[in-house]
Structure formats: C-alpha cells, structure tokens
Amino acid sequence: MNTDPGTVRTTVPALRAVADRVRLTPDAEAVRSEHESVDYRSLWARSARIAARVGQLGAAPGTAVGVHLERSVDLVVALVGLLRSGCVAVPLDVGYPTERLRFMCADAGVDLVVGHQGPLDRLGGFTTVLTDPDVGYATAGPGSPEPGPTPAFEDPGVSGDDTAYVVYTSGSTGRPKGVRYAHRNLANLVAWQSGASECGPGDRTLQFSPASFDVIYQEVLPTLGEGGTVICCDEDDRLDPQLLWDLIERERINRLFVPFVMIQSLALFADDATPRRHPLREILTSGEQVQCTVPIRSMFTRLPDCRLVNQWGTTETHVATWYKLPADVTAWPDLPSIGRPITGTGVRVCDPDGRPVPDGEAGELWITGAAVGPGFLNLPERTARSYRTDPLDPAVPAYRSGDLGRVTPDGLLEFLGREDTQVKVRGFRIELGEIESVLGADPSVAQAVVAVAGSAAEDRNLHAFLVPRSAPQDTAAWAAGLLADLRDRLPSHMVPVRADVVAALPRTPSGKIDRLALAAGDAAPTANEGAA
C-alpha cells in the first residue's frame, strides 16, 4: 500500500487538515498509549487498511459499522479509517451492558464491528475474521467468509451530506435514540475548534472521552489536524483525579476535554499544580452548568497560562456555543455564560410557538446552521418534532434543544436549565423516562419515578422512587434487587445511586408528578424504606 506522504489525499472534509499533516510531518508522533506510539505516516497507512478491510467484508459507503474498542491507538486508527471508508461509525462503548449494545447494533443495522477480541467475545453474535496486529480486529456476522489479503485502499468519495457517525443517547420512551451527524457538521466543528484553540503543532491532547460520547471526535480530529499528539489514557487514570494529575505531568498534556464534575475533582487535588509540573493551556468542558467555586479559581490561579472554556450544545448538534473565561480568575462570574455561537452556527431564543423573543426574555434555545445534523435514526416523527428550520430563515436548518436561556445585555447567552425531564448528571445527558420505563417494566412495580438529587455538580445523582404493586416482605431487599437488574440493562451512569420504596408519589395541582418534591424527599414512605 502506497504510504508516500506526497500521495496522501482524502475527500473526507474533516480529515483534510490531517492529510496535510501526513504530508508535512509524516514522522511526527500522532498517537501515543502506554504501550504504543505511531507517527502520522503509520496512522494514515493503518487507517487505510481498516478502510480497505471493512470494504472487503462488504461494508459499502453508508453502511453502519460498529467500533467496540478500549481507549487505544487502535481506537483512533479505527475512527479515522471508518471516516475514510465512507461507512457510518457506530461507537459501542465496551462498558455498556450487552443488551444495550445488541439493541444499538440491531437498530443501526450493524453487521460488522471493528474491535478487540476480549470485548467482542462478551458482545457475542460476531465472528472474528481478521486478527491483524496492526489494526486490532475486524469482525463480521456469523457465517462471513474469511477474507484474503487486505486490498489496496481507494478513496470512495465522501460528500458533506453523508452521515459520518451515529451515537446513541437516552430516549424518553425507554428506547435509546440514534443521532446522526453528517460529514459537513463534523468538518465545521473541527475547523472551528482548531481555529479557536490555544494549542497547535506538537501539543498534546488527552483522549479522555468514552468512545460512545461524541466528544471523542472533538479530541482526536482537531489535534491531528493541528499536528499535535493524541495521548490515550486507561480507565484507572481517567477516573482517579490524583492519577490524572500524574498522567498530565508525565505525558506533558496541554489540553483536556472533561465534564465539569472532573474539573471539580481535579481542583481538590491541585495543591502542586504549576505550569512547570502540569503544562495545561486549555481545559474545555460541556454538559453541565459550570460553577466557579473557590477550589476551581484557586486551581486556575496556580495555572495562569491555562484557560477554562465553557461549551454548550446537544448530541444532535455537538458544540453550538462557547465562552472562554478571562485569564483573571477574579473576573469570573459564579455561573459563567455559555457565550456565543461557534462559526457557521446561530442560536435563537424562542417562545413555545417557535417565535424569537426579545433579548433579555427567557425562552427555548433553538440551534441553527452548520451544527445541526440530519436527524434521529429510524425515528421520523421525533425528527420532525425536534429538527425544524430557522424561525427567521426557512432555508437554514434548526434544532429545538429543549434547553432554556436568554440573551444578556452584553450579548452573551445565559443557560437557564431544561424544560423537560432530560437532565445532565456528571457530564452525561440522561432521559429520566428511559430509566423509569425499564424499572416500570418489572411486574412487581406499580410506579417508578427517577429524580435528580443534589445541587452542586459533584453532588448530583439519580434517585429512584418505587411504588410496589403489593407490599414486599422486605422492601429494602426488593428495591436493591431492582437496582441490581438495572445494572445489567443500562450504562452505569444511568443507574440510580439509591431507590426508596414509597406508598404514594407527590403531585402538583395539575396532577403531574412533582419531581422537585421528590428530590426534596417529600414522598410518603413505607415501612422498611429504601435501598442503597
């Protein structure tokens, strides 16, 4: 396969800057993990082998292909390779329950998966047909023939309107929703992020995000297009703030994309944070309301060269707005703005009928323009409700975010929370209805409601309230058993930390369940209440 940098070409809009780097600095380090490092030339060659192999196995452009890999060089190679193939990547988080992964595969029409052998064995239903140590494993459904040697890769041609990937989010009906994101959306995000960033050639970005979270594309593609290095971390380093600080120092990390709760955790272990020890220049966060606490201000005081960037958006649009907090932490507001729209994107503040409201008034945030993806997978009615057109220009696509906000006197956007039961806990967007649907499917449950407890980001957690059909002998054991079953069916971030058994659920005057009262503990308890 021809790996001469002078022949590197791609039709994938989001990879054009990466191809430029392959030509300009082929020997520069592109991706590093604990046990492996690859340069730009090798990354490009390995990604071509992935693209060629999935094509050989029958995956034409537009075909959904699963990605079931731990954080590793192979994961980055697979994401780049599937973009080049023209296939639609469907990230399958190795930490998700098998039942959920199988639903995602069936819903997206995945018959082919790129992955490592161990996780694929757990997933089941896929037979290993390739064990190339250069590219991990590619697998196809049972009965697929063993292919011959990998053919040379030929760029199939990718248009901006083609779907680049599908990620799954919580669904209010109990059914996870597949969200499509097009190549043009991804290209706009990558170009904007690179232009807005403090980082450039030779800088290092940590690959922190789970594979199933769309932020992974924001970590990887701008870094490679800038001529930087993607540093992979393992789960222990990712979850332990002290180990994460050690990794930042050891690998000389310059940029982090992390949920706000991790920033708060890092601030608690930041006593020795200095530019010499921890050369961070950017910490970018999204998914939760940023709170400028004393520990966070203190941490950034110790890192005067590092900027905190607050980003807002939805899975359906990825990043829509951004706000870089001032270098002077004393100028930080307690609750920072979500800023202004990114390049090519707009935000309208609308009333319930979709009409823009005057600046200063609260309303639903409608995202417009280049950030808006093609819609949900296999959900035309839900797509029609949420994906609209710009209220001021019918030729421009729009997405109704369900978030509330307003424009402040200085022209910035202020985030005011959610208008429905969709919440964000520890950086994950969660539909409470999905958890309630799974709990309510148990025949012993009469009613199940999930609320969010805690106000500060690090204290926010899910709390289930259960009304049994008939009084169990041991309510604590019954509730604990339901939570145990839930852990086998939902990702860990969607499992409530406790469940209380109650005789009745509080209601508002209109007859709706009063979730605020539940979060405050105002529910009628039963004897022997609760399970942790």
- Distance separating alpha carbons of residues 356 and 528, to the nearest angstrom: 51
CA angle 98, 101, 106 (to 5 degrees): 125
Instruction: Write out residues in the chain with pLDDT < 50, as ranges.
Output: 1-2, 127-131, 133, 509-511, 527-528
E strands in 79-153 = 88-91, 112-115, 127-130, 137-140
Is domain 282-418 in CATH 3.50.30.60, yes or no?
A: no
Tokens of 133: 């140590």
Residue 428 confidence (pLDDT): 82
Residue 517 confidence (pLDDT): 77
Do the two domains 5-182 and 282-418 of this chain adopt the same fold? no
Give the chain's length: 532
**Residues near 515 by beta carbon (within 8 Å), at least 6 away in sequence:** 421, 449, 451
User: What are the residue ranges spanned by the domains of the chain?
Assistant: 5-182, 282-418, 428-525
Residue 144 confidence (pLDDT): 56
Query: Rounded to whole angstroms, what are the CA distances from 131 to 55, 115, 128, 402, 427?
Result: 16, 10, 7, 45, 35
Q: Running DSSP on this structure, what letter comes out for residue 176?
A: P
Instruction: Classify domain 428-525 at the CATH topology level.
Output: GMP Synthetase; Chain A, domain 3 (3.30.300)
Residue 425 confidence (pLDDT): 83
Residue 148 confidence (pLDDT): 65
Q: Own/partner pairs for 385-391, CB < 8 Å, 24+ apart?
A: 386/316, 387/316, 388/354, 390/346, 390/348, 390/366, 391/348, 391/350, 391/354, 391/355, 391/356, 391/366
Assign domain 5-182 one CATH number from 3.30.1360.10, 3.40.50.980, 3.30.300.30, 3.10.20.30.
3.40.50.980
